[in-house]
Amino acid sequence: MYQLSNRRMLAVLGVCASMLALGSGTVCLGGEPDPKSYWNVADIRPGMKGVGRTVMVGTKLEEFKAEVLGVMRDVSPGRDMVLCRLTGCNLEHAGIIQGMSGSPIVIEGKLLGAVAFAWEFAKDPIAGVTPFSQMIQYVRSNDRRIAAGSHERESSGRIETGMRMASPLIDSEFALEPSGLADAPLVPAGAGRGMTPIATPLSASGFSPRAMAALSRRLEPLGMSLASGGAAPDRIIREEGDKPLAPGSPLSIALVMGDFDLSGIGTVTHVEGNRVYGFGHPMLGLGACELPMMTGYIHTVYPRASVSMKMGSPLKVVGVIDTDVSTSVSGRIGPMPDLLPLTVRVKTGRFADPQTYKVKIVREPTLLPTLVLSVLTNAIDAEGNLPEELTARLSASIKLKGMAPVTISDVLSGSRYTGMMGATALFGPVASIVGILTRNPMAAVRVESIDCDVTIEPGRRVAQLESARLISDTVEPGGTLRAVLTLKPYKGERQTIEASAVVPETFPEGPSEVVFCDMPNSIRRGFRNDPTLLEPHDIDGLLRAIRLQTEPRRTSVHVHIPSPERAVSVRGVALPNLPGSVRAVFASRRETGATPLRSDLVATAATDWVIEGALSLKFSVVKDPGLSLSLPVK
């Protein structure tokens, strides 16, 4: 039986709610709070007093007092803000607290809104409150977008066409231009000078200081306050994890779950049926999303001079956050999130036991490459300090639904894999591939799982390609071109190996060239010979460009002989072996954009080292080579 995904099921629910509303003719949409239960902003007056709810320790709800100071209209397009002075719960000392985002304020039995904004270094606990009426409005609009977008994706089988084209280049060392990781949306700044959305405390459990620093650079500009944390004890999870979400309860939203954990803590504003509203501002500004919605536990409040913060831990997954908009986050209790499983096995040193780490990561395309890279690099950091000079043996498999997996199996060594950024360079291609595939604008690609194995050994096993000598400078068509190569290993004695390449019988007579090079230079030649790989027109072309970069090995010497065959590519379709007159016709037709293509005869020679460098030699193809000459060493 056909089953809907969680996001599509939520979209269907949103459509049903809208249809119910249209059929009934009432103001209140199905499943939404009664408008009589919350305030209209126009009715709010200075001096009105009410109470708020939040959790300061554990899961116990506590009340604080709130007094309306005024209303600020149009602080941003379509948004108002209510200014309130808060007292009680030691707020006079701690001030507005990170983690209070979403704390509901009720006046005369009606919900005003959610504590959402604060000023750094404020002397009084004055908060900006997001009106609940506008939280509902933006969530309702996003439900309609989810429903419309789900219908379009179902009918077309394609992802959003407005998405930026992802470069197929996975590593700046391999290809012509650096690819970079996907850009994430920025959380909008506050409306007044110094006033910003209360930063969401992001608790990182099991992450090393280096991984924390990298995550901070990426996530703090998005409105997150990253801090080292830890999981709640098993006893707390058993006793408190199943408590239902209620207004004022901790609301945890996970980005990474498992042996490493990364989750934000805020507060529930309102629960209507299975619909939960919280935060009063965006978490990451993702719009429609699919994030794990969890219960939470507050260990303590850490007072600071700038903005104090709650220190909390996630407990249990109870549903899915499907909306992350400018006025709130919102989700539904019951559905379970669709997460990406990632497994990484690490072995450091000959005598160390291998360690296995398993996590599940949210599938948001804007965050996925960063989270994948952070988890993989953190797995290495968890094993302690790495050798100053190292060699890494990496195997990675990125499994795709309905397509062959993308695999990497290689040895990596050299200066770029040492120091603080060594682990990032090691796993960067894996994260880049995930980002390229999930953000491509041509077809929906589902990454089923990621599996990595890495073994770290001390010592740098790198050899420079120092010189080359042809056994003969002439070769017959159908014959074999042979060369002796001299390698200079890092801190080692020179070694020689033999490399060869078969020249096809159809190869024309005349002078030619052979290039001996490392893997990055070999890949560059591949892209220069076929520039269409840099601008793929379909998912097959994109996968071909990726595999061009993942299939060669760094431990091989790559032998390239430029082929005399010429071709052109017209609208992404290669037309090989065309006569020169036909190629000229295509080149003259301006509308086709014909791209000239070249090709190389390619062979490899395996070695025990990671090869660096490139050399080239001239030779001749003749039917009767006669007396062959040896070329001098270059």
402 against 195, higher pLDDT: 402
- Token pair, residue 390, equals 């190292």
Residue-wise pLDDT for 107-128, tens only, equals 999 999 999 999 888 888 999 9
Percent of the chain with pLDDT over 70: 82
Q: How far apart are the first and last CA of the chain?
A: 67
The CA distance from 581 to 587, in Å, is 10
- Look-up: residue for tokens 């005399």? 564
Residue 565 has pLDDT above 70, yes or no: no
Which amino acid type is present at position 477?
Answer: P
Please provide residue 290's backbone torsions phi and psi, each rounded to the nearest 5 degrees.
-150, 90
- The pLDDT value recorded for residue 9 is 40
pLDDT tens digits along 407-430 = 999 999 988 888 777 788 899 999
Counting residues of the chain whose pLDDT is more than 90, the rounded percentage is 57
Residue 344 contacts residue 356 (beta carbons within 8 Å)? yes
Q: What is the pLDDT of residue 302?
A: 87
Q: How long is the chain? A: 634
178-234 per-position pLDDT tens digit? 333 334 444 443 334 457 888 888 889 988 887 888 788 888 887 788 888 888 899
Q: What is the pLDDT of residues 505-538, one digit of tens each?
A: 989 899 999 999 999 999 999 998 888 888 888 9
pLDDT at 579: 56
Mean pLDDT on 545-557 = 95
Q: Which of 262, 265, 230, 267 is CA-nearest to residue 245?
A: 267
| Confidence class for position 572, pLDDT limits 50, 70, 90 | low
Only one residue has tokens 């909306």, namely 323
Select the more confidently predicted residue: 581 or 50.
50
Minimum mean pLDDT among 257-271, 552-566, 568-582: which range? 568-582
Mean pLDDT, rounded, for 16-28: 38
**For 246-257, what is each residue's pLDDT tens digit?**
999 999 999 999
Q: Is the pLDDT of residue 16 over 80?
A: no
Per the listing, tokens 């790198």 go with 462
Which pTM does this prediction carry?
0.83
Most confidently predicted of 160-174, 339-353, 354-368: 354-368
pLDDT band at 176 (very low <50, low <70, confident <90, very high): very low
DSSP state, residue 198: P
pLDDT score of 622 more than 90? yes
Q: Which pLDDT tens digit goes with each residue over 70-94?
A: 999 888 777 899 999 999 999 988 8
Q: What share of the chain is helix, strand, coil (3-state, %, to 5)?
A: 25, 40, 35
Whether 81 and 112 have beta carbons less than 8 Å apart is answered as: no
pLDDT given for residue 535 in this prediction = 84
Tokens 């560059």 sit at which residue? 524
- Amino acid identity of 133? S
The whole-angstrom separation of Cα 290 and Cα 4 is 14
Cα–Cα distance between 142 and 134 in angstroms, integer? 12
Q: Single out the residue of 552, 487, 477 nearest to residue 521, CA to CA.
A: 552
Q: What is the pLDDT of residue 397?
A: 97
Q: Can you name the residues that pair with 568 across neighbouring β-strands?
A: 575, 596
Between 168 and 15, residue with greater pLDDT: 168
Per-residue model confidence as pLDDT tens digits over 458-473: 999 999 999 999 999 9
How much is the pLDDT for 15? 37
| Average pLDDT over every residue of 359-380 | 92
